Each structure stands twice: as C-alpha cells, then as structure tokens.
Structure 1
Amino acid sequence: MNMMNNLIICILSVALAFLIAPTLSLTLSNDPCARIAKKGVSHLYDDVKACYLSNPFNVSAAKRTLQTLNDLFKDLYVFTDQSKEPVKEGYDFTPLDILSVLDTFLDKKSYTTDFEFNKDLRFTIKKLRDGHTDFQAGCYLNDIVFDQQIYLYSVVKDGKQMIKVFDDTIDGKNVDCEVTQINSQPALQAIKEFAQTQLSSSRDLGVRFNDALASVRQIAIAPTSIQFSARTDLPESDSITYTLECPNRKPFQLVRKWNITTVDRFLEWSDMKTFRQYCFSDFFLSYVPPQKKAVNSPPFTYGKAKQVYSSLAADVYTLGEDIGIVEIGTFSFRRVPSSLAYDYQAAFQELVKRKVKKVVIDFSNNPGGSINFAIFLSGLIVPSNHFAFPTDLRVPSTIQQVIRNESRPESDGGFYNASSWNSFETGKPFKNAEQFIGNRSLTRGGTTDEYSALFIDQLPDLLLEILKDQRKSPIQFPWDKDSTIILTNGHCASACALVSRYFAEVGQYPTVAVGGFLEQPLSFSTFPGGQVIDSGILTEIPAYKPFISNVELDFTIREAYSLKNPNEVLDFQFKPATHRLYYDEKNSRDISLLWEQAADFLK
C-alpha cells in the first residue's frame, strides 16, 4: 500500500511539474518586469521599457504628487523666487517659475502611463540646475543601471577640443581613438547637448559637461562622472552609434547597446503586479548611487608624486621637495571616528614638517558631505572671525508655527528647533523661536517672502577645541595666497563648495579649474547652498500632506550668503576659477602632471 501511495505521489509530482513549467515560462514570456528582476544577467532594453510602461497613469496619485511638490516649493525650497530671475552671465539655465509649471502640469499633456508622468516631472525639476534638488520616482530610477561600457573624455590638442575614448571595457583597441560623431551628430556638440538638457549638477554648463565625461580620480561609486555612459534614467534608445577615428585604422562606426543590469540588492518587486504595488506605495528606498566600474584601463597613476600621509580625511603627496598636495576627495563618511578632525590637522602639519614651499589642495570630484567638517577645515587653514558663511531659510506662517512648537522646552526638537542653531550676529544659540524667525522680508523674482534671521551651524565642542589649540600650536600653517592654490574640475560640490569658496573669498587663494570648454571660464565649485534635505521633513509639518506613491524630492532648504558681499547668495554668484587647465592624453591619466601644472601658477 505504501509503495502504491509513493508511486501515485511520484506520478502526481511529475505531472504537476509539467503543468507548472509552462506556466512559469508563460509568466516570464509575458511579464517584462519578471525578466528584469533577475540579477546577474544583462537585460533587454525593450523589457525594461515595457516594464516601466506597464503602470497605467494614476490621476489621483499624480494630483497628490503635484500637491505635495507645490507645498514643498511654495514654502520650503529656498530658491523658488530667485529661480525666476534673469540668469547671470556665465551660467547656463533658463529662469523657471516652478510653481506656475506645477499648477498647469496636467493641462499641457495627457498621460497614459505613470512612468511618462514621473519622467516629465523629473526633467522639469532638473531645469532648476540645482545639484541639491532632485525628484526621484524610486521604481524608475534606483534598481536598473544602463552602462555603455565605453567611456569618453575631452582633450585639447593643438588648440582644438575633441572627444576621445578614455576606456572601453569590451574592446581596448578603441582607447584614445577620436570620437568624431555620436548618433550622426558632432561628438562635442552631442555631449554638450546631453549636459545641457539631461544633467542638473551645476548651473555652469562647463561643470555639467565635465560630469558627463570620465575624469582623473574617477571613483568606482562616484555618481558625479561618466554620466553620459552610465545612467539610471531610461535612455531614449537601446544603443548609441559612435564614429571613431583611430591611428592606422580607417574611420568606422561602432554601435554599442546598453549593458543593462539590476542593482545587487534586495528588490521590492518580482513581476508586473508587485512592481505596480511598489510604484504606488509610499515606501521609498533611499537612493544609493549604483556601482560604476572604475575607469582603470589604462589606469590613472600618481606619476612622480610620492605619498607621505594617508587617512580617511585626506591623502598627502609631495612632488620633489617644494610642492605638497593635499587631496580631499569627500566630506561624506559612513562612519565618523572622533579622530577624523585630527586627521585634517595632521595632513597639513605633515607638509609643514617637510617645509614645502607650494601647496595644491585638490578638491576634484568631491561631492560634499558633512557641513561641520567643511566649516572646521575652513577655520583650521584660514582662521577669521567668521569661518562659516551666514545662511537663512524661508519662514512662511506655517513654518513659523513649526519653529515655535519645536523650540518649546518640553519639545523633542527637530530641524526647526531654534536652540540647535547659532545666530550669525552673536555666534551663540538663539534664545527662542522669535529670534530665529527674525523679521526679514526679501523680494526676489517679483515675489516677496519671509526669511529667517541669519544663522550658522553649531560645531561640536571637539572641533572647536582643536581649532583653539591649533592657534596656539608651535606648528603653524605658513602658506598664504601666494603659496597655496585650489584645484578642482568644477565638481567641488555642496560642503566642498563652501570650503573652496571660503578659501577663495576670505583667504584669497587662487583657484584653477580643469576641463570644461576651451577658452571659456569654468566655475571651481558648484551648488554651495547651505543644506540639502529630503521630503521626509514633512513628518515635522502636519499642515502638509506627504507623497502617497514611491517618490521623493531632495531640495535645498537653506541658502548661504557671501561674507564680503552680504546681499549675494553664493548659489547665484558665478565664480570662475582664476586659472584654467585642460585635459590631454597624459595629464588625464597621470594626476601628478595636473598637480605640477597647478603649482606652476604660483609664484
């Protein structure tokens, strides 16, 4: 009897397997989302597009998204009014009345899919060209990476600017071939237009141009470089056609399809049904820049430079006996040990001990991070009465009430707690909400709004103590504006921009920017706005309704002002570098050559 039961079970199992197998196969063949949910394989472009387009337009979710965005831009985004003003010479963006655009957004186009709606909304907000401000629909951005596996860079040779292949991970023979056309358009113009329309990392088009291309000090996980070749937004087509001219070879066309992969982390969806649920849930998985392959074939080197110090904060090199380099790649740290502040101090003290005569501070591709460490470094190297730029934020009536609530003694506090900020005027914490709210009305872009009193961050006691001790230390930093220069590729962003702008404005350090467009000025920093925050701040503001779908807005909540010109907002000051350098086939891969060229500008 048991044998018969076992036989029946075996027969049923086999039959069931035959029934399930076609079902699974049918599911995969009809469900593009199920196919692209598989990890470790390259996906078809048409599958990704079909999955994204599978979500029908949800008018109620769209209206809620627009309502929440309207609240954020109307009362919290600090540049809403100033973004309407005429563009200052040197910048490249179009004035944008974002509130008017949001009010009429659904009147201008009839949508059939959720993806099209969110894509248009994302690229509309990108027109602000504010690197701190980014609208993200998580299910169409965070899980899939598109990689051309060919990375381009711009060189200047014999007075001519051209696009060349920096690396090709599929065919190394293409390295350093000139790219004359991209999709039948002159290559330089194609990259320029991509930077002009698709990127928002800077109001300076030259900086965005650099961000589209490969650059020296390429970091494997950096979201700032090779954005033309490695993307998270769905490209317009499944491939790009390049026309290449290589030594000893006839010009030829190269059609390169996107290598499309799913990011290596837990997915919140596995098929069309769960993908739709994920997109229309209020769960937002924080955006983590996808892994980008380091551009390392051929590798960049440090050439003649000798490393003499290394820490989480900075790396120090020397070129001969006279030139010292402090390379600061980030102010963003997963862990912040108490020793980190001492590491900045030790980095510069190392060069004092070596008695170098010239110092190059390299901030290239620094994405920013901790404002506290940026302010600390400013005060460490260029002491002054004010080593932080004054900032403010918008305080309409709704926010004024939040400030009063969070500033009460019995409150748990929050971002708007007045006592957590120092008055710029006194350098001490605000005593109450009314001091923080202040009484400042500013008219920008034809609109008058209320702004807070000027304030600065409160540095931790440890950082203040180190600054105090350094002023008494026998090891003083002897360099000044004649012996120190700041080097960047324009992408010294956020907290990094605050430091470099402080060094240039208060220390009067000369600056040099590399890359950009031939014979055109290039900013040495980008988006120095006082602070970025995300739409999660709405949990502190009961009057506003949060998003109900899988979207998020990062935005600039406070602005920084010049110390020397108190009425000028740093984000809207065009500050080109004092000096210019351009990449060539050698210095693009040997960073010591750039450092040497930068040092040559010093007396």
Structure 2
Amino acid sequence: MKLVNNQSGYSTGLPSILFAITLLCSSVTAAPSNSTTSHKSDPCAAIAGKTTATFHEAKACLDHFPYNETIASQTLDTVRKVTKELYVFNEIATSPPKVEGLSAVPVDIHHGLDVIQHEKWQSDREFQESVALLLDKVHDTHLVYSPFCYRQFIFWQPIQLNALVRDQKSVVNVAYVKNDIWPDAKESWVGCEVTQIDDKNAMDMIVNYAVNNNGESKDVNTCFNNIMNTKTYFHGWDDGADDLGYHRFLPAQEMHSYTMRCPKKGTSPAQEEFDDPFTVQVPWVAQVPNNFNDATSYWNNYCQSSHTAYAKRGAIGHLDVEELRLMHEGQAFDLSPEAARNAAAGGARGPYVEFIALDKPQADVGVIDIQSFSIQSGDRQDFIDTFYSGLKEFESKGIKKIILDLSSNGGGDACAGEFIINTFFGSTPDYPSDIKYSPFLERVIKKAIAIPGTKWSDYKNDKYKDAEWFTQTNTYTRGKEQVKFSQPVSLSCDRWESELTIDKDKKTPWKAEDLLILSDGRCGSTCAIVASRLRISHQVAAMGLGGIRGNRMQFASFPGGESERLSGFLMDLQQLDLQDDPDAPRPFPERADMGWTFREAYRPTAKGAEMGKETELLEYSVNNADCRMHFDDENADNVKKLWSDVAQVFTSGQCPLIKD
C-alpha cells in the first residue's frame, strides 16, 4: 500500500537524493515562532472553515509549526531502526544491480538520514517531507514515511491531463477540468491538446518528471501512468498520490502555465484543425480539512500523538493501541482518500471484483475487473462466492476468452491472490521468499510461535521446526554487503482454507491461452505476485496499458513479497509483550506511520545455484508485457470501449506470449 509519494510539484529533479533534500531546504520560508488565535498571526485560523484555500494560504498554515530537534531526533531514530533491522532491501538499495529496463537510483538511506539530521530546517513540515522524499527515492512503493500532520489538505490542479495516441502520435490531452475548485477552468478546454507546460514541451516535461520525480516503480512506464489520469482510471491511490493534478503534500510552486490548442468548432481532435494556441496560468488549489479552528486545534487534531512523550520515559510501557489502529486503518485523515477518488472520478469503479460480459462483436469475451486484493475479513466468503458465481455466469453465456484487468490494483491479501490462481489452474508453485535476519526479529518470531495471533506465525518451511526456518540462516550478497536471510518460506493460507468454503476441486474450462492479463503497470504488491505467477509459471500473456510510447513496459510494480506498517508492527509487539525490547522501533512522536518491505520474493527460476542472487528477485528483475495498448480519444474515458479494443487485439491473436 502506498502511503505517500514525493515532494515535487512539476519541477523536475536530479537523481541525487542529497541535492533534492538541499532544494527542499532552500525553498521554504521560515515558520512563525508563536501561535495566537489572531487571523493575522495564525494562518491556520485564517482558512479554518473554508472549503478551499490558495497555495500560499495552505503553505502558511502548514509551515506555521517550527522545527523541533527532539521530535526530529526521535523520528529519525525510528526510521533508522526500521530500515536497518527490518527493511529487506536496505543494503541493495545503496548499490542496486544494473538491469536493462529498470530505473533504480542508488540511495544510501542511512547517509541520507544523517544529512537530514544535520540540517537546520525552517519548519517541521520541511523536515518531515525530507524524510518522506528520501525513502521515496528508493522507488519501492512499500517503503514510505507518511507524516499525517501534513497530509490533511488535498491539492488540486484544475486541469487534469491524460496521455493519448492520436494519429500515431503521443499527445497530452485535457481529460477534464475541476471548475468546482477553480471557476476559471472552462469545460471547453476538455479535449484540447496541451503543447507546453511551464514553457517546456509538454510530453518531454511529463516523461522527465516521471523518470526523476515519481517513486511509484522502478519501471518508468508505470511512473508515467501514475502521474496521468482519466476519469475512468483515476489514480488517486491512498493518501499520497502523486500525479500531475492531485497531491496530498504541498506542491513545489504556486501555479503552472499550460499552452493549449483546441479543435475548431465542429471538428474532432483527430482532424487536427485547431484554433490559435493560448496560454493559461493555472494555480494549485487546496481543499481544506474540516476539523480545526486555528493552529493549536490543527496540531492537536492532526499532529499530536499520544506517544509524543515516550522518550521522556525509560520504556514505552503501554502503547495506545487505538491511536495505532486509527493510523493503520487509514482513519487519520479528515479528507479521506476515497472521497478524493470519488470527487475526481464521479464514483468508484466498484468493490473488489466485477464480472463484465462484453457486447457484440466481442460477446464471447468477458472481463474480470479485479480492483483490489485488500479483502476485509468479513468479506472473504462473499469475495469467494462472487468469484465462483461470476465464472458460472461466464460459462452460461458462452464466454470463451477472459481479460483479467489488474490495472491500478494496489494489492492486499496474498491468500486472495492465491485463491484466484488456484481457481483457474488447480495449484501453482510457491515463489521462494525469505526475510532478512536480525537478532531482534528472531526474538519476535520465537515469541510469535509461542503466542499465536500475529502474522509472524503464518510462515512455514516444511524442513524446519518452529523458528528454525528463521534462525538457520543463509548469507547472500546484497549490493556491496553480505546479508543474512532466513530459509525460503511460504505464506500459510490455512486460515482461509479452514474458515471459508473453498472448492479445491473446482475445474474451469479456460486454459492459459484463453486468459489475458491487462495492466497499466500499477499492479503492485500481491497483485504483482499474482500477475507474475500467472505470466511466468502459467504462461498467461500480459498486455501493458498506457506508458511511454516506443518502449516495452512491465505489467507489475513493487513486487517485493510482503510489506508491514509500523502501526501494525507495534500492535504485534504489544501483543507479544516486546514493545520494550531495546531494539524495537519506538512510535513516532508525531502522528505518522511508516511502511516497508520485509519479505523478498524470487522468480520461479531461482533454484539451486540461482537461489539468493539479487538479479533473481522480482523487485530487481524485469517482467515485460507481451503487447501494448494505448489510450485514444474514444477509449480514454470509456472503460467498456477500452475493454472492447483489448478484446479485439486478444481474439485476433495479436498478443502472443513472448518467450523470455
């Protein structure tokens, strides 16, 4: 799950994380040193109760809170412990392998944290964002720092863009406008071609931004898709979505200039008959949260944590589990991510999974739109029953081919993915995976075996008893270091199988050649594992959607095995009575959360001498799609037309499996 993305607006950045931090440091004005209820001296009070605010009004409120060295030190101590002891890619991130098709910038996390600690930041927001930016540069969406204090506003660009192929050329197009937040945005701009942004070629600027400023994936095509939108495929993931028109963080500048040319009245864009071009200055507009009256109440409601004073005690003692659960369940927002998605897209696409039979001439093609694997425990049986009934309906309608649409699926429950694969293919080989060893985590796993109830008792290796799968380590090269890892493990789905009604003997009439994976690359985590297993182990062809025209793209992103959140991990430690372990990470002093990858997954080819090689890791290998589909003027805002276009390519045999 992606909690937060990077700190850029539209300005492009250099690959150097230290340069990016320096830019951030120099771009913020000093925060006020005192807080009063006067609107003149309290910028938060000045906008409280408003629906929207200008860029400068929102910035003044967010930068009102001064930098605090104690808070900074406590925050960095926790980030250091997590990345050093628990983050499985910490060492390889410093010196990643050079793999054609991947964009992985070397990031020494701990050196970057040292640089951040020695800076004299002008505001607390400035410091907090520097930590988020540093982790974002690793290009692992699972690795994230999310300061909820500075994620309460939603920043919109009133012009929302998408990328289309029009007459064999890539163009930047106005997908829709948000005149509800900026009345000067004109509906007549929809369908106009954007030729320049901030006096640069629009497509070049967007590609450059995707390559250098988006931490969504190590595949630049996925990053490109992440920063573009259509109404149907709105990319407002979670709380930190970083597209060109929607931020959860303060953008880098107040406004941007768009040079557009619009089709002459009565013509279509494809006819390329345009009126004279014109340039518009478009501001960032802030959607204001509701639950504050002034700076003091803003801090108390959004920033102050019940764990703020933990450093004054010798040990944590009792953790505020309700506070942790609030953050873990994504309820620490005033303006919810779901509301943002619905506001832009005009409604969500639907829950979990939908089965759609296409109309003629593709009436024998069905789409399984798998929107999420984050199945709530109470919904699991309904998810299973819906999947079975959907397949039964497809059979009754004579569906011969199935498109598995995994676009913009951020993952979730690995056992839900296992269920889908097994439903089609009976069984599937486990992908080898392992966990980085640390003495602290050994204590956690040993305790978890003795006290069931946490995720740490769900891993197994049939050759080893109890915790031996973790304590009997292997040493592999990661970057320039030798790192200890557990024995290969698989995730137990016993709870799914014991608590739910699953037909393990169910047979389906569809074979691998009857299935097609459709993905915009934003198929991550569990989704990436499912797509990779379908493609590599079961030979299901994959079609990439969108991306930068002219190069191959991957069909999955951030496939690093499994992730954890600090909020959930601390609740596990409390349950195991290990919250006071000297090596345990402490809760953040401000309301914030952190995510990281703790289990690395290998390709199925990682056997024998290949096991343990970093180039066999899914996170650091290339999984290219077999063919490509781009958005055009007709299918960009009509998902059924898009599926129909995909079906035409699929049924005509134009997307054959390419042997790697």
Q: TM-score range by the shorter chain?
A: 0.7 to 0.9
> CA distance change for structure 1 residues 564 and 348 in 2, over 3 Å: closer, same or farther?
farther
Aligned 1:475-494 pairs, distance under 5 A: 476-494=507-525
- Could you tell me how far apart the structure 2 residues matched to 1:232 and 1:96 are? 24
- What are structure 1's unaligned runs of at least 5 residues? 1-23, 303-309
- Which of the numbers 364, 371, 377 marks the counterpart of 1:329? 371
**Residue matched to 1:580:** 628
Following TM superposition, by how much is the alpha carbon of 1:436 offset from its aligned partner in structure 2, in angstroms?
Answer: 3.6
What do residues 406-455 of structure 1 show as CA deviations (whole Å, max 9, x unaligned)?
A: 322xx3553333xx3232x56xxx64122343321222111122212222
**Residue matched to 1:11:** none
- Could you tell me how far apart the structure 1 residues matched to 2:637 and 2:441 are? 50
The amino acid that maps onto 1:125 is L
**Residue matched to 1:228:** 244
**Residue matched to 2:283:** 257
- Which of the numbers 253, 262, 279 marks the counterpart of 2:303? 279
- Could you tell me how far apart the structure 2 residues matched to 1:578 and 1:220 are? 24
- Which of the numbers 402, 406, 414 marks the counterpart of 1:359? 402
Moved more, 591-600 or 155-164: 591-600
- Which of the numbers 57, 61, 69 marks the counterpart of 1:59? 69
- Which of the numbers 117, 140, 152 marks the counterpart of 1:106? 117
Following TM superposition, by how much is the alpha carbon of 1:457 offset from its aligned partner in structure 2, in angstroms?
Answer: 1.9
Aligned 1:195-210 pairs, distance under 5 A: 195-210=210-225
**Residue matched to 1:316:** 356
**Residue matched to 1:555:** 596
Aligned 1:490-501 pairs, distance under 5 A: 490-501=521-532
- Which of the numbers 357, 375, 378 marks the counterpart of 2:421? 378
CA contact (8 A) 1:438 1:452 kept: yes
- Could you tell me how far apart the structure 2 residues matched to 1:222 and 1:29 are? 36
Instruction: Kindly indicate whether residue 503 of structure 2 is the aligned counterpart of residue 503 of structure 1.
Output: no
CA contact (8 A) 2:214 2:223 kept: yes
Moved more, 559-568 or 226-235: 559-568
Instruction: Kindly indicate whether residue 462 of structure 2 is the aligned counterpart of residue 421 of structure 1.
Output: no
> CA distance change for structure 1 residues 520 and 470 in 2, over 3 Å: closer, same or farther?
same
Following TM superposition, by how much is the alpha carbon of 1:239 offset from its aligned partner in structure 2, in angstroms?
Answer: 1.9
Which SS does the other structure have where 1:111 is aligned? coil
What do residues 204-229 of structure 1 show as CA deviations (whole Å, max 9, x unaligned)?
A: 11111111111363359644977210
- Could you tell me how far apart the structure 2 residues matched to 1:374 and 1:545 are? 31
Instruction: Kindly indicate whether residue 44 of structure 2 is the aligned counterpart of residue 33 of structure 1.
Output: yes
Which SS does the other structure have where 1:314 is aligned? strand
Aligned 1:32-431 pairs, distance under 5 A: 32-39=43-50, 41-83=51-93, 84-107=95-118, 109-141=119-151, 143-170=152-179, 171-215=186-230, 217-219=232-234, 222-223=237-238, 227-248=243-264, 249-263=275-289, 267=291, 269-276=292-299, 279=303, 281=305, 282=308, 286=327, 287=330, 290=337, 291-292=339-340, 294=342, 312-320=352-360, 321-334=363-376, 335-384=378-427, 386=429, 388-408=430-450, 411=451, 413-417=453-457, 420-423=458-461, 425=462, 431=465
CA contact (8 A) 1:230 1:292 kept: no
- Could you tell me how far apart the structure 2 residues matched to 1:274 and 1:328 are? 41
> CA distance change for structure 1 residues 113 and 222 in 2, over 3 Å: closer, same or farther?
closer
CA contact (8 A) 2:232 2:636 kept: no
**Residue matched to 2:650:** 601
Following TM superposition, by how much is the alpha carbon of 1:468 offset from its aligned partner in structure 2, in angstroms?
Answer: 6.9
What do residues 131-189 of structure 1 show as CA deviations (whole Å, max 9, x unaligned)?
A: 11111111111x10111122100011233211110111322100110011111121112
**Residue matched to 1:14:** none
CA contact (8 A) 1:318 1:324 kept: yes
Following TM superposition, by how much is the alpha carbon of 1:560 offset from its aligned partner in structure 2, in angstroms?
Answer: 1.5
Which SS does the other structure have where 2:40 is aligned? helix
- Could you tell me how far apart the structure 1 residues matched to 2:165 and 2:287 are? 34
Matched residue count: 554
Following TM superposition, by how much is the alpha carbon of 1:78 offset from its aligned partner in structure 2, in angstroms?
Answer: 0.9
- Could you tell me how far apart the structure 2 residues matched to 1:311 and 1:140 are? 29
CA contact (8 A) 2:226 2:242 kept: yes
Following TM superposition, by how much is the alpha carbon of 1:483 offset from its aligned partner in structure 2, in angstroms?
Answer: 2.0
Following TM superposition, by how much is the alpha carbon of 1:240 offset from its aligned partner in structure 2, in angstroms?
Answer: 2.0
The amino acid that maps onto 2:602 is Y
- Could you tell me how far apart the structure 2 residues matched to 1:165 and 1:449 are? 49
CA contact (8 A) 2:352 2:371 kept: no
Moved more, 395-404 or 372-381: 395-404
The amino acid that maps onto 1:237 is Q
CA contact (8 A) 2:96 2:104 kept: no
Following TM superposition, by how much is the alpha carbon of 1:367 offset from its aligned partner in structure 2, in angstroms?
Answer: 1.7
CA contact (8 A) 2:241 2:247 kept: no
> CA distance change for structure 1 residues 25 and 202 in 2, over 3 Å: closer, same or farther?
closer
Percent of counterpart pairs with the same letter? 25
Following TM superposition, by how much is the alpha carbon of 1:356 offset from its aligned partner in structure 2, in angstroms?
Answer: 2.2
What do residues 304-354 of structure 1 show as CA deviations (whole Å, max 9, x unaligned)?
A: xxxxxx975332323433212211111124551523212222222322222
> CA distance change for structure 1 residues 36 and 333 in 2, over 3 Å: closer, same or farther?
farther
CA contact (8 A) 2:355 2:366 kept: no
The amino acid that maps onto 1:139 is C
- Which of the numbers 452, 463, 478 marks the counterpart of 1:444? 478
CA contact (8 A) 1:366 1:491 kept: yes
What do residues 31-85 of structure 1 show as CA deviations (whole Å, max 9, x unaligned)?
A: 111233325x211222221122222221122122111111111010111112122
CA contact (8 A) 1:55 1:113 kept: yes
CA contact (8 A) 1:87 1:94 kept: no
**Residue matched to 1:17:** none
CA contact (8 A) 1:214 1:295 kept: no
Which SS does the other structure have where 2:194 is aligned? strand
Which SS does the other structure have where 1:496 is aligned? helix
- Could you tell me how far apart the structure 2 residues matched to 1:216 and 1:479 are? 32
The amino acid that maps onto 2:129 is K
- What are structure 2's unaligned runs of at least 5 residues? 1-34, 180-185, 265-274, 309-322, 654-660
The amino acid that maps onto 2:162 is Y
What do residues 472-520 of structure 1 show as CA deviations (whole Å, max 9, x unaligned)?
A: x4xx322223221111111112111111111101110110011111111
The amino acid that maps onto 2:91 is D
> CA distance change for structure 1 residues 382 and 467 in 2, over 3 Å: closer, same or farther?
farther
The amino acid that maps onto 2:158 is Q
Which SS does the other structure have where 1:548 is aligned? coil
**Residue matched to 1:21:** none
TM-score, L = length of structure 2:
0.78
Structure ID, larger Rg: 1
How big is the alpha-carbon RMSD for the aligned residues of Structure 1 and Structure 2?
2.9
CA contact (8 A) 1:490 1:525 kept: yes
TM-score, L = length of structure 1:
0.85
- Could you tell me how far apart the structure 2 residues matched to 1:196 and 1:469 are? 45
> CA distance change for structure 1 residues 437 and 355 in 2, over 3 Å: closer, same or farther?
farther
> CA distance change for structure 1 residues 216 and 225 in 2, over 3 Å: closer, same or farther?
farther
The amino acid that maps onto 1:572 is Y
Which SS does the other structure have where 2:75 is aligned? helix
What do residues 559-588 of structure 1 show as CA deviations (whole Å, max 9, x unaligned)?
A: 222223343211111111000111111121
CA contact (8 A) 1:213 1:226 kept: no
- Could you tell me how far apart the structure 2 residues matched to 1:25 and 1:111 are? 22
The amino acid that maps onto 1:442 is Y
CA contact (8 A) 2:155 2:285 kept: yes
> CA distance change for structure 1 residues 206 and 383 in 2, over 3 Å: closer, same or farther?
same
Which SS does the other structure have where 1:491 is aligned? coil
CA contact (8 A) 2:411 2:525 kept: yes
Which SS does the other structure have where 1:511 is aligned? strand
